[in-house]
Amino acid sequence: MLNNINLNLLRSLHVLLEECHVSRAAQRLHITQSAVSRQLAQLRDLCSDPLLVRDGNRLIPTPRALLLKQKLDALLGEFDHFLDDKPFDPKDWQGELILSSSDYVAQYILPDIATKLAEQAPQLDLAYSLWQPSFLDCMNETGIHLASTMLPSKPEQVSCLKLGEDKSVCVMRKAHPLAHQNHLSVEDLIQYPHIKVTGGGDKDSHADIALKELGYKRRIALKVPFFSAAWNALSRNDHLMIVPEHIAINLFHNHDLEFRPLPFDTPSHLYWLMWHPKYDNDSSHRWVRELVFSSMRESSYSIGMI
């Protein structure tokens, strides 16, 4: 069948399936929009499938197109390095790497990653973006190369590695009236106002669900987007805060804060390192995701997350 296919069509198909937009595909391929439309018509004939169908102002890939894209991601990833004269060397890597996670990771884990990258890939620039749950469904559009976040199960739409897991605990300042107690009751938990961190993903809804099932509700007196603002406020008043245990352990070691188990059971938090499947076979991405994964796992071991 390859004898009947212009191999440039495969690249055009790959770009079309990434963009789902004819004019943007034309810009990336450096050809006219009408040329892309003609190629799409050829591809539809070759595949006996519409590949992209219109839904309002956008194009939606068919199941057949999604299957072809998976194959093209792997095939073109290998082609990109087919004529490489030498194996990937991080010292030669130039460009920008975009990482995304919470401000907690930015403060406590990113410095170690940045140091390792500066030593091993000195020409690579590093950018950091605060993770938003909405990014999960549009990883390709965000430009993010690697992201870490908490999700209740393995995400299906991206490639990923499991970093670890833990459960929620309650954090308070050392001078808090409850700090002398080894165990908290539900009444203790709702007696004081709470602080909630809103940035970077869901961290405490499991506790709210458990409280609701028991017929209780806590008062969220302060909502802030960053952990640094939360624990600065926490250290100055009698607020409480529900966070994953690995964060509480780190706060205990670095701030005047205490933590206690919750008076009820909650599902485990699962942590994932994620990337768009198009990078699965990319040698530079494979190298950097192993470095980031190792750094995050080392941090997890040191604070008991794994």
Q: Is the pLDDT of residue 122 over 90?
A: yes
Joined together, the tokens standing for residue 208 give 């709210």
Low-confidence winner among 141-145, 219-223, 248-252, 256-260 (lowest mean pLDDT):
248-252
Phi-psi region of 225 (alpha: psi -120 to 50; beta: other; left: phi over 0): alpha
What pLDDT does 56 receive? Answer: 77
CA 204 to chain centre: 18
Q: Is the pLDDT of residue 260 over 90?
A: yes
What pLDDT does 80 receive? Answer: 63
Q: Is the pLDDT of residue 132 over 90?
A: no
Q: Is the pLDDT of residue 300 over 50?
A: yes
Report, as an integer, the average pLDDT of 170-180: 94
Q: Is the pLDDT of residue 171 over 90?
A: yes
Report, as an integer, the average pLDDT of 280-288: 92
Q: Is the pLDDT of residue 3 over 80?
A: no
pLDDT category, 128, cuts 50, 70, 90? very high
pLDDT category, 146, cuts 50, 70, 90? very high
Closest alpha carbon to 17 in 57, 55, 64, 56: 64
Report, as an integer, the average pLDDT of 159-177: 93
Closest alpha carbon to 293 in 306, 281, 282: 306
Share of the chain above pLDDT 90, in %: 42
Joined together, the tokens standing for residue 172 give 């308070």
Q: How many CB atoms lie within 10 A of CB 181?
A: 12
Distance CA 254, CA 110 (A): 17
One-letter identity of residue 242? I
pLDDT, tens only, 83-117: 555 678 999 999 999 999 988 888 889 999 999 99
The chain-wide mean pLDDT, for the chain, equals: 87
Most confident of 87-91, 141-145, 185-189: 185-189
Distance CA 279, CA 80 (A): 12
* Cβ(258)–Cβ(174) below 8 Å: yes
What pLDDT does 294 receive? Answer: 92
Joined together, the tokens standing for residue 297 give 């796992």
The more confidently predicted of residues 83 and 234 is 234
At 59, which helix (H) or strand (E)?
strand 58-61
Report, as an integer, the average pLDDT of 197-220: 84
pLDDT category, 202, cuts 50, 70, 90? low
Bridge partners of 166? 269
